[in-house]
DNA sequence: GCCAACGTTGGC
DNA sequence: GCCAACGTTGGC
């Protein structure tokens, strides 16, 4: 039995950019492009290798949970912040003092799509952060109870 | 395409 | 440090 605490996360990705099928094909994905301090801090300060990730499709016809992934690296500087031709370029960041971090995530499995309306209808998820009004964070913590309620139905 | 909600920026 | 203006997210 592991003594390492495992955290659960929900991470949003646009399926046009990187959906669960991309991850299934490649096995692994660098989670670059996060440009929000709260989301960065979650990756930098709280994520650990082995943490469980609910892979969520956003900005698409059917938003919802589409699969499971696992954190496979600790946080390291996101290289796209230094690439002047990248849309994620940040002129205020430097290699000496990088502003943005990423983690790597590996494929665990594809699930049926648990859509947003279904999630909203589950009483166990009433307090889930991603479902709160006005939420825009691309990375949010998921409680163990929320994880259990969701995984039971996937 | 609309728009609510939120984060960031920059003038003062 | 305040806050208006602006940009972005993301569901619909």
Per the model's pLDDT, the better-predicted residue between A13 and A92 turns out to be: A13
User: Please, what is the end-to-end C-alpha distance for chain A in angstroms?
Assistant: 24
Q: Which domain holds residue A145?
A: 8-153
pLDDT of amino acid A56: 97
Q: Is residue A1 part of a domain?
A: no
Is residue A21 pLDDT above 70, yes or no? yes
pLDDT of amino acid A94: 84
> Which two tokens mark A143?
């409680």
Q: State the Cα–Cα distance between residues A18 and A78, nearest whole angstrom.
A: 16
User: What is the average pLDDT score of chain A?
Assistant: 92
A80-118 tens-digit pLDDT:
998 888 888 888 888 888 899 999 999 999 999 999 999
Which protein residues have their Cβ less than 7 angstroms from some atom of strand B? A 36-38, 92, 133-136
**Chain C footprint bases within 7 A of protein beta carbons:** 8-12
Q: Is residue A58 part of a domain?
A: yes
Q: Is residue A130 part of a domain?
A: yes
Is residue A42 pLDDT above 60, yes or no? yes
Q: What is the largest CA-CA distance in chain A?
A: 47
Q: How many residues does chain A have?
A: 154
Q: Give the CATH number for residue A122.
A: 3.10.590.10
Please state the domain count of chain A: 1
Q: Is residue A3 part of a domain?
A: no
Q: Is residue A2 part of a domain?
A: no
Banded model confidence at residue A28, pLDDT cuts 50, 70, 90 = very high
Region class of A38: left (phi > 0), else alpha (psi between -120 and 50), else beta: alpha
């Amino acid at each position: 039995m592991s003594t390492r605490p495992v955290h659960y996360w929900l991470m949003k990705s646009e399926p046009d950019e990187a959906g669960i099928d991309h991850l299934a094909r490649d096995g692994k994905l660098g989670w670059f492009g996060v440009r929000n301090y709260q989301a960065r801090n979650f990756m930098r300060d709280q994520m650990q290798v082995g943490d469980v990730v609910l892979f969520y499709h956003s900005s698409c016809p059917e938003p919802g949970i589409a699969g499971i992934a696992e954190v496979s690296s600790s946080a390291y500087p996101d290289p796209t912040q230094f690439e002047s031709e990248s849309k994620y370029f940040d002129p205020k960041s430097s290699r000496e003092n990088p502003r943005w971090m990423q983690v790597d995530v590996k494929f665990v499995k594809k699930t049926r799509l648990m859509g947003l309306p279904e999630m909203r209808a589950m009483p166990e998820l009433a307090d889930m952060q991603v479902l709160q009004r006005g939420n825009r964070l691309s990375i949010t913590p998921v409680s163990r109870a929320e994880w259990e309620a969701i995984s039971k139905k996937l």
